[in-house]
Amino acid sequence: MPHITLIRHGQANTDARDEESYDKLSDLGHQQARWLGAHMAATQDRFQRVYCGTMRRHAETAQGMNVTPEAEIIRDPRLNEFAYFTLSQLMEEQHGLAVPSEREEFVRHLPTVLGAWERGEIEGVPESFEAFHSRIADAMAEIAAGDGRALVVTSGGLIGTVLRQTLALDVTGWASMCLAIMNTSVHRWQMVLGKPLLVQFNGVPHLETPDRHHAQTHL
């Protein structure tokens, strides 16, 4: 039975306000990746295939986990995140929606941005919603068709979109999933009768001891 594990990257540059500056792990992000890799090694959680996006934070997380030293990491741009900073800036310029400065403000901001993007109400976007949605579905279908257990290191927005495609979520539910996903969290799917079945969401077993609670981060 095909089995796919998706991992969100470690904590990135939380002070960033653009795509390029965000795309690198913080010191904590590197540590989160090492802890997750060590946990998977200790529990003999083995994978025959490893994938990640082409973003720096994806590669740094996958390399830091080091779960299959002998296997090549397949880098696929279809596993990259959507350009949230760029979409937010365009929303502010075109619709007057201020870019949040506090995490709590993202709860209202994200579904507004995602809804406008899906409806085609933002001009000059680097990628249409339809193209983003389709590339994820195509990549996941190809991975599901492969042999052996697959590990995919990617971003929260992409994982949230796979959840949306699996659970038929509306925009509000999609945004809620994206907001909930923690850094280096574990999400698992099994293919049953040709369809994906979600069997684990947002697991962080490597961060559950009291001395690591501080490392349970969303941003």
206, 33 in Cβ contact below 8 A? no
Can you read off the two tokens belonging to residue 141? 């279908």
Distance CA 76, CA 80 (A): 8
150 in Cβ contact with 143 (< 8 Å): yes
Domain of residue 58, CATH code: 3.40.50.1240
Number of domains in the chain: 1
Which residue ranges of the chain lie beneath pLDDT 70? 1, 69-70
Tokens of 93: 């310029």
Q: Is residue 49 part of a domain?
A: yes
Is 102 inside a domain boundary? no
pLDDT of residue 1: 57
Residue 118 forms part of a structural domain: no
pLDDT of residue 106: 84
Q: How far apart are CA 12 and CA 10, in angstroms?
A: 6
For 187, list phi and psi in degrees, rounded to 5.
-135, 130
Q: Report residue 175 as tokens.
A: 């945004």
Structural domain including 59 reads 9-81+151-156+182-207
Per-residue pLDDT reduced to its tens digit, 125-156:
999 999 999 999 999 999 999 988 999 999 99
pLDDT of residue 149: 93
Close Cβ partners of 70 (under 8 Å, ≥ 6 residues apart): none
E strand intervals along 63-154: 73-75, 150-154
The pLDDT of residue 191 is 83
pLDDT at 17: 77
pLDDT at 101: 78
96 within some domain = no
Give the model's pLDDT for residue 49. Answer: 94
User: Rounded to 5 degrees, what are φ and ψ at 150?
Assistant: -115, 140
Q: What token pair was written down for 39?
A: 């946990």
For residue 197, being part of any structural domain is answered with yes
**199 belongs to a structural domain:** yes
Is 114 a domain residue? Answer: no
Report which of 123, 118, 132 is spatially closest to residue 92, judged by C-alpha positions: 123
The residues, ordered by sequence, that sit 6+ positions from 84 with a Cβ below 8 Å of its Cβ are 113, 157
Contact 188, 4 (CB under 8 A): yes
- Quote the pTM value: 0.94
Phi, psi of 201 (to 5 degrees): -130, 130
Residue 98: inside a domain, yes or no? Answer: no
